[in-house]
Amino acid sequence: MSGEIRYWDSDCFLGWLQAEPDKEAACLEVLTAAEEGKIQIVTSALTIAEVLAVRGRKKIPATDKQKVEAFFRNDYIVVRNITRRIAEAARGYVWDFGVDPKDALHVATAVDAGLALFNTFDKDLLKKSEKVGDPPLTIQIPQWSAPKLPIILPRDPSGKKS
Residue 155 has what pLDDT? 59
Q: Which residue, among 138, 1, 110, 123, has the nearest Cα to 47 in the 3D structure?
A: 110
15-30 pLDDT, tens digit per residue, is 899 888 999 999 999 9
Nearest to 118 by CA among 130, 49, 46, 74: 130
* Predicted pLDDT of residue 58: 78
Inter-residue contact 133 to 107 (CB < 8 Å): yes
Can you give the pLDDT at residue 92? 97
Residue 110 is predicted with a pLDDT of 97
Q: What is the pLDDT of residue 89?
A: 97
Q: What CATH topology corresponds to 4-140?
A: Rossmann fold (3.40.50)
* pLDDT < 70 regions, the chain: 1-2, 146-162
pLDDT value of position 42: 98
- Domain chopping of the chain, boundaries: 4-140
pLDDT for the residue 159? 56
Q: Please tell me the predicted confidence (pLDDT) of residue 3.
A: 80
Q: Percent of the chain scored above 90 by pLDDT? A: 71
pLDDT tens digits, one per residue of 89-116: 999 999 999 999 999 999 999 999 999 9
The DSSP-derived string for 2-37 is: -SEEEEE-HHHHHHHHTT-TTTHHHHHHHHHHHHTT
